[in-house]
Structure 1
Amino acid sequence: MSISPLNQPLSLPCGAVIKNRIFKSAMSEGLGEKGGSPKPSLSILYRTWAEGGIGLCVTGNVMVDQRALGEPGNVVIEDEGHLEALKHWADEAMVNGTHCWVQLNHPGKQAPKGLNKENVSPSAIPFRKDMQAFFETPRELKEEEIWEIVQRFGKAAEVVKKAGFSGVQIHGAHGYLVSQFLSPKHNQRTDAWGGTPEKRRKFVIEVYQSIRNAVGKDFPVGIKLNSADFQKGGFTEEESLETIQTLTDLGIDLIEISGGTYEAPAMVGSKVRQSTLEREAYFMDFAVKVRKSVTVPLVLTGGFKTFMGMADAISSGDVDMVGLARLLAVEPDAANKLLEGKDPDHMIQKIRTGFDPIDRMSVMETVWYREQLERIGERRGPKPELSAFWVFLKYVFRFVFKRKGVWKERAN
């Protein structure tokens, strides 16, 4: 009997071996304590996924600066202050031979208005008009601040390794700070950090080098990178290919391909043609272009629905792992089914509240699934029929009252 393409091991350039080709892509959990320590429910959630058969599990974005949160409830790693809680999380997440990598991130300007004292970015470029009520215009970073952030990525990676996780992933996609530096729309600097594609790549290169210097050559370091921003004047496929080639030459171990930002959320299928949706993988055309240029292991995330769609992607040789996210929030053991050659039980649909301003931003594609992750972490299990409107109201009131310091979590 032939072995399923999804059930083959994968060796990375650094020497690490992933047991199968199923990759749990990052989702924001919002399960950090005040101060940035991981809640115990994160350990339960990640153990559930590990027991569910995933080969490589990437955490939700972990911030490198307490002053720069992307969402309420982010885990933050600035030093070893939360080391014991991080060790417990790593131990639980890596049962069953599962790899667990921590995704390190800085939101830049892509943080809700009022969450941080201020938001920063390569340049003081506002969001589009219909989003300015939710996101403030950022302050332009000074060069010394840029170097401080670079060093924070390295320090966080050092702590991640000490805690026992098996790798790190740089979040270089979806409009967060690394992505902002790469984009000519958001980075309009004229100094060493902007003005040309080469200068716009300086930040991601320095972040990678800072991390690599902190963890050594044998520790896996990957990146999540946009194929494009899908915005006029933004990061293009040509620049993405050049960035991938540069990072490959520097020794990156794994590249996850995605696309889009909060302003153009292609990562949830909002900018995808019907023919692409039918083929399942949103960014496969770009992955094919990448494979012609580099041999670095590639993960493709976005749009996969069936066993055959995933198996065909691996069998083609164009990608090495298939990335799943939202499916695993409603069906945490889906990987075990896929490894047996079965389709998942659930089909992912766009989450809608019925209010256009909210739905256009695809905010519920984070908030509704975060609610499912919280349920799994509390051992209540996912609830696929959960009302999107109810979840949105809960999120708004939680955020408002947390800011006022009067919100208290209630047991369900």
Structure 2
Amino acid sequence: MASLADPLDLPSGVRLANRIAKAALSEALGDADNSPDERIVTLYRRWAEGGYGLLITGNIMVDRAHLGERGNVAIEDDRALPQLTAWAKAAHDGGAAIFAQLNHPGRQSNLMDIGHTPVAPSAVPLALPGAAVPRALTGAEIEEIIERFATAAEVCEDAGFDGVQLHAAHGYLVTQFLSPLTNLRDDEWGGDAERRMRFLLEVVRRVRARVSPGFAVAVKLNSADFQRGGFTEDDSRAVVAALAQEGVDLIEVSGGSYEAPAMSGSQAASTRAREAYFLDYARSVRAAAGTVPLAVTGGFRTRSGMQDALTAGDCDVVGIARPTVTTTDAAHVILQGRAASLETHEIGVGMRRVIGRFADLKMLDGVVSLAWSTDQLHRLARGLEPDLERGALRTVVAMVRRNGKVSFRQRRGLK
């Protein structure tokens, strides 16, 4: 029976000092060249002092021409190796392992920054106002993207990261290959469930072939995309079973996409009350995962809820993200018993009667709350404390300044 304070040895040999992970948050702190700088080192040094067994970075893109949002870090080669090394060292100095989350946005690109048509498995646009129709990738381009993931992983190992997490959730490119709604291909990359998962499996294989056996390869996977006719829990369980055969080190369970953002806490109150949004799914996939450790992120707030999940064997690692924005030492708070639960801060748009007539208030509230969290991350990166009094108006102004019109599209969720 595992305790939150117990270490965990992953199949690669990487040891996590305890069972609490700081899950991925999209930092948007890359410089003009989409490389990390001292701000991200400052931020991760702060988190590294917080007692987490594992820190997982936010979106690191494998192609500078295809960013999820303005400010993403991108790794195409070793041009930023010193900065990446400093990033990994900041985590290690605090006693935490660190995984770099590698991603390609596919059709969920930040169109205002890219200035050209996004790419995807098939020419299926996002079901959002103004979304461009993506261009279907050629077979040669698919092979190139797989190689980009492998190159980025190799650079991360050279920089001292303990592993990488391949982002196969939240509607990004890997998820687009997995879903029958977005993958309409009839070649070797689509046509049935087995061929739809091939892209992910080939990325895992190529990455594993390019890194050492002691370097961890993890995957973040949707339990479902929560869309009719889309990627289902049965589909996801089949992918987990296939990943277990590939020798991955950790599977983190999440769910949703820009179009159905379950990952950002948009569930009904009854679901949020169960604390962990995807725990039921994790319980159901245990057999398929075999000996591969499972992490669950999304909704954990109380020490009792976290420990109960471990005690029941539903997961091996508890991921928390949004609470770490304002309680940077959340792991210490839980492990040392300084509080029974973690606080989160939610804000919403004003003028609700007026705005609610022509916009989805739930979606807008989610966007503003996520932008508020990003503001706090940027304060931490400047060496400042969180500003809990920051209001919705200042948040919206800062969001528009950062991202332009794309700000009002549902961004990647923070758990």
TM-score, normalised via structure 2 length = 0.92
Residue 298 of structure 1: aligned partner:
294
- Contact 1:193/1:203, CA 8 A, preserved across alignment: yes
CA distance in 1, matches of 2:151, 2:196: 23
Mapping of residues 389-408 of structure 1, within 5 Å: 389-400=393-404
Cα gap change, 1:365 to 1:138, in 2 (>3 Å): farther
Q: Does 2:158 match 1:121? A: no
Alignment of 1:47-66 (within 5 A): 47-66=45-64
- Within the candidate set 4, 8, 28, 1:30 is matched to 28
Distance 2:57 2:103 in 1: 11
TM-superposed CA distance for 1:210, in Å, is: 1.2
In the TM superposition, what is the alpha-carbon distance from 1:357 to its structure 2 partner? 4.2
**Could you say which residue in structure 2 is the equivalent of 1:223?**
219
Q: What is residue 406 of structure 1 aligned with on the other side?
A: none
Contact 1:64 1:76 in 2 (8 A): yes
Which letter maps to 1:132? Answer: P
Are 1:13 and 2:11 counterparts? yes
| Kept in 2: contact 1:27–1:366 (CA 8 A) | no
- Please say if 1:70 is aligned against 2:73: no
Name which of structure 1's ranges 294-303 and 109-118 shifts more when overlaid on structure 2: 109-118
For 2:95, the aligned partner's letter is G
Distance in 2 of aligned mates of 1:153 and 1:29 = 20
Aligned position for 2:412: none
Q: CA RMSD in A?
A: 1.8
**Percent identical residues:** 47
Gaps of 5+ in 2: 407-415
Asked whether the 8 Å contact 1:84–1:163 carries over to 2, the reply is yes
**Which residue number in structure 2 is paired with residue 179 of structure 1?**
175
Shift of 1:167: 0.7
Write the distance in 2 (CA, Å) between the matches of 1:140 and 1:31: 30
Q: Residue 40 of structure 1 corresponds to which residue in structure 2?
A: 38
Secondary structure of 1:114's counterpart equals helix
Structure 1 residue 237: Cα displacement: 0.3
Read off the aligned partner of 1:48 and give its amino acid letter. R
Q: Which residue of 2 is the match for residue 101 of structure 1?
A: 99
2:160 is the alignment partner of 1:164: yes
Q: Structure 1: which 5+ runs fail to align?
A: 403-412
Moved over 4 A (4+): none
Rounded to whole Å, the distance in 2 between the matches of 1:323 and 1:210 is 27
How far did 1:289 drift? 0.6
**Cα pair 1:331 1:345 within 8 Å, conserved:** no
Between stretches 331-340 and 291-300, larger displacement belongs to 291-300
- 1:151-173: per-residue Cα shift (whole Å, max 9, x none)? 00000000000001111000000
TM-aligned CA deviation for residue 401 of structure 1: 11
Match of 1:28, SS state, is coil
Letter in 1 for 2:306: M
1:143 deviates by 1.0
**2:139 corresponds to 1:132:** no
Partner of 1:280: 275
Which residue identity does 1:368 align to in structure 2? W
Supply the distance in 2 between the matched residues of 1:320 and 1:269 (Cα, whole angstroms): 22
Q: Partner residue of 1:196?
A: 192
Corresponding residue for residue 405 of structure 1? none
Q: CA deviation at 1:344?
A: 6.1
Partner of 1:79: 77
Distance 1:384 1:299 in 2: 29
Structure 1 position 353, deviation (Å): 2.2
Counterpart of 2:3, as a letter, is: P
Aligned residues: 396
CA deviation map 1:94-135 (0-9, x unaligned): 22320011000000011233221221111111222xx222x3
Deviation (angstroms), 1:365: 4.3
CA distance in 1, matches of 2:271, 2:405: 42
Matching residue's letter, 2:363: R
